[in-house]
Structure formats: structure tokens, C-alpha cells
């Protein structure tokens, strides 16, 4: 007697799904699948051969050669409440494949809770932008706005090169305009960092010490701050060669500039020594507190002619 090598997702299931090029056998319940998916509700309904004469005593084989076996197995485990068989963590490309399969089988709502865990865990740890792109695609397909915003913010922070090569990871699933939106927002972040550096540099004044100043107070401080920017390679021309996260880290680690002593005593009494690091830290905190990722509704609005109203209020993106 031949050994049954199928995966018994439903021990008394009436269907074998033969998934992928290797025809992995998944024993499932057609009724449970029908309850969770309109795709399977139609497939195993009365109008298709797959839905005729179903019996747990003689399960019917249903070939699915073009589908991803791991993704379909994970979805079936979720739908059948086989929680012990559902992985707590997945590679980004696996999360993406599950999202694609869930979209195809019209059962995205069934995997919503599990996907929140996968996207949340992965979105805060993954550094490689191609993996972040897979997670972004999964969040977009599953309509997880919070994860989409978190992941796209990570893409702005952790990537310094062009986003255009990422188009190959997202064909037919995410509109290409998201790549241009990422570039626009990243450039805005870079300009914000440069503005903070400029504002901090002028904390000691900008040549307006008054006629009673004899020590070149603002000039000495500006020169010292400029040397400090050179020391940390934070000149404007170098900003595009770093990720936004690297720029922020450098700004956080910068010590206060060493200001050269005046050549002669100054009697101007309104000089006050700036606290560059504290000032820079406050500005970074305030700016980053307001910064978020892309709004999924803004990205979807206009896609395929569909106009959407944003579910969360925000500034124009």
C-alpha cells in the first residue's frame, strides 16, 4: 500500500490540492475553503467539475501547478485554524508570495491578522531595500496602511540609490508612481537635514554682533561649525552619498565645535554661547516626529481610475 505523503491540513478533508511544479499534496476541506474565499466558493460550487461528488473517503485531486506551494500551504493552515503550523516569521519574499496568493484567491481578510505580525516584525529589522520592496508590495496588496507607511519610511531612511530598479520586484501589483513618491519624500528629508545643519550653524549669530563687538564672535563660530561639518563629511555635496539614517546618526554624534579664542578681549555683553548639540537634537526630534511613510490611499488614488479618500488625515504628499 502506497504511503500517503500529503500534508494533512484537514485530516478528513475531501480535496487534495496539488500545488506548484512539484505537485505538493495538501489535504483540505472544500467547505472551509469556500467559507473563506469566493474563489474557492466558486471552484467547489455546483457549477464546476471540482465541486462534484466530493467525499472525504475519496478526496478529489485539484491541480494548481502555477501557484506557490509554501504560500498556499500557509494560507490553508490559517484558514483551517492550524495555528501551530503557521510560521511566526517569514522572509520578505515569502510574505509577498502569500499576499499575491491571498489576492488571487480573494481571501486577504483571512490572513490579515497573521500578515500584521509578519509585516511588523520584518519591517523594523530588514535593511536590504529589495526585501523592503517585497514587504511594501505585500502591505499594498493586503491593504495594510500602517505597515505600508512604516515600510516606506524605512525605504526612505535606509536606501541611498535610485528606487527605479525596484520596479522589477513589483510588476502588476504596485503602481510605479510609488517609486517617484519615495524619491520626492527622501529628497524632502535630505533638505530638512541640510536646513537643520544650516540653522544650527547660525545659532551664534550671522554677522550681526553689533558695532561694539571686537572679537568676531559670529565669524569664529561659523568657521568652527564649518570645520566640524567637514570633519563629519556633512557638506551638502556628500549628503546624497549617504542614507538619511546615516546622516541622522552623524548629526546625533556630532560634538560641539571648538571655537578659536579671540585675539583680544571683547566688551560686547550680549554674546551667548550656543548649545549646538542640544539645538540640533531638538530640531531632529521635532522634524522626525512629524515624518511618516507614504499614505497607501494616496498611492491607490488614481490607480486604475479609482479615486480614494484618505482614511488618515495628513499633509499633502
Kindly report the CATH number assigned to the domain that includes residue 17: 3.30.710.10
* pLDDT at residue 25 tops 60: yes
Residue 205 pLDDT grade (very low, low, confident, very high; cuts 50, 70, 90): confident
Q: Which residues contact 42 (CB under 8 A, 6 or more apart)?
A: 48
Lowest mean pLDDT among 17-26, 182-191, 198-207, 293-302: 198-207
Q: Which domain holds residue 66?
A: 1-77
305: in domain: no
Domain count, the chain: 2
Report yes or no on 51 lying in a domain.
yes
- Name the domain boundary from 39, 57, 77: 77
Q: Which of 77, 106, 122 is the last residue of a domain?
A: 77
Q: Walk across the sheet containing 15-19 and list its strands.
A: 7-8, 24-28, 15-19, 60-64
What is the per-residue pLDDT for 1? 39
The predicted structure's pLDDT at residue 38: 95
- Above 70 in pLDDT, residue 208? no
Q: Inform me whether the pLDDT recorded for 121 exceeds 80.
A: no
> Rounded to an integer, what distance in angstroms lies between the CA atom of residue 31 and that of residue 181?
43
Per-chain mean pLDDT for the chain: 89
Of 27, 53, 77, which marks where a domain is finished?
77
Calculate mean pLDDT across residues 10-33.
96
Residue 194 included in any domain: yes
Bridge partners of 63, per DSSP, are: 18
Residue 87: its pLDDT value, please? 92
Task: Report the alpha-carbon distance of residue 198 to residue 235 in Å, rounded.
Answer: 11
Alpha-carbon span 317 to 163, nearest angstrom: 17
Rounded to whole angstroms, how far apart are CA atoms 100 and 142? 9
Kindly state the cell numbers that stand for 128: 536590504
CA dist., res. 9 & res. 82, Å (int):
7
Q: Do 93 and 24 form a contact (C-beta atoms < 8 A)?
A: no
What is the spatial distance between Cα 113 and Cα 103, in angstroms, rounded to a whole number? 15
pLDDT of residue 307: 67
Portion of the chain with pLDDT greater than 70, in percent:
92
Give the whole-angstrom CA distance, residue 29 versus residue 49: 16
For residue 253, pLDDT over 50 is answered with yes
- Which H/E stretch holds residue 95? helix 92-104
Q: What is the value of pTM for the model shown? A: 0.86
Coil vs helix vs strand at 142: coil
**Residues in contact with 267: Cβ distance below 8 Å, sequence separation at least 6, in sequence order:** 212, 214
Mean pLDDT computed over 207-219? 74
Crossing angle between the packed helical segments 145-158 and 177-201, to the nearest 10 degrees? 60
Question: Does 306 score more than 50 pLDDT?
Answer: yes
Amino acid at each position: 500500500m502506497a504511503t500517503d505523503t500529503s500534508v494533512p491540513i484537514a485530516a478528513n478533508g475531501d480535496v487534495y490540492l496539488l500545488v506548484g511544479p512539484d505537485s505538493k499534496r495538501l489535504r483540505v476541506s472544500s467547505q472551509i475553503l469556500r467559507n473563506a474565499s469566493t474563489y474557492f466558493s466558486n471552484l467547489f460550487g455546483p457549477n464546476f467539475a471540482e465541486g462534484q461528488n466530493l467525499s472525504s473517503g475519496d478526496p478529489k485531486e485539484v491541480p494548481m501547478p502555477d501557484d506557490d506551494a509554501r504560500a498556499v500551504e500557509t494560507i490553508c493552515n490559517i484558514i483551517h485554524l492550524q495555528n501551530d503550523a503557521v510560521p511566526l516569521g517569514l522572509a520578505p519574499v515569502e510574505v509577498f508570495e502569500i499576499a499575491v496568493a491571498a489576492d488571487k484567491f480573494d481571501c486577504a481578510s483571512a490572513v490579515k491578522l497573521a500578515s500584521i505580525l509578519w509585516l511588523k516584525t520584518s519591517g523594523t529589522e530588514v535593511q536590504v531595500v529589495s526585501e523592503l520592496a517585497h514587504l511594501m508590495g505585500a502591505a499594498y496588496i493586503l491593504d495594510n496602511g500602517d505597515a505600508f507607511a512604516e515600510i516606506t519610511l524605512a525605504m526612505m531612511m535606509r536606501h541611498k540609490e535610485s528606487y527605479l530598479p525596484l520596479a522589477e520586484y513589483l510588476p502588476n501589483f504596485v503602481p510605479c508612481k510609488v517609486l517617484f513618491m519615495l524619491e520626492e519624500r527622501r529628497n524632502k528629508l535630505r533638505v530638512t537635514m541640510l536646513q537643520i545643519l544650516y540653522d544650527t550653524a547660525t545659532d551664534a549669530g550671522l554677522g550681526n554682533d553689533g558695532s561694539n563687538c571686537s572679537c568676531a564672535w559670529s565669524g569664529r563660530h561659523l568657521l568652527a561649525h564649518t570645520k566640524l561639518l567637514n570633519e563629519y563629511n556633512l557638506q551638502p555635496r556628500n549628503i546624497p552619498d549617504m542614507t538619511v539614517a546615516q546622516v541622522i546618526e552623524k548629526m546625533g554624534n556630532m560634538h560641539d565645535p571648538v571655537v578659536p579664542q579671540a585675539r583680544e578681549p571683547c566688551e560686547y555683553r550680549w554674546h551667548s554661547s550656543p548649545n549646538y548639540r542640544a539645538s540640533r537634537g531638538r530640531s531632529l526630534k521635532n522634524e522626525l516626529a512629524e515624518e511618516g511613510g507614504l499614505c497607501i490611499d494616496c498611492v491607490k488614488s488614481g490607480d486604475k481610475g479609482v479615486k480614494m479618500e484618505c482614511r488618515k488625515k495628513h499633509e499633502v504628499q
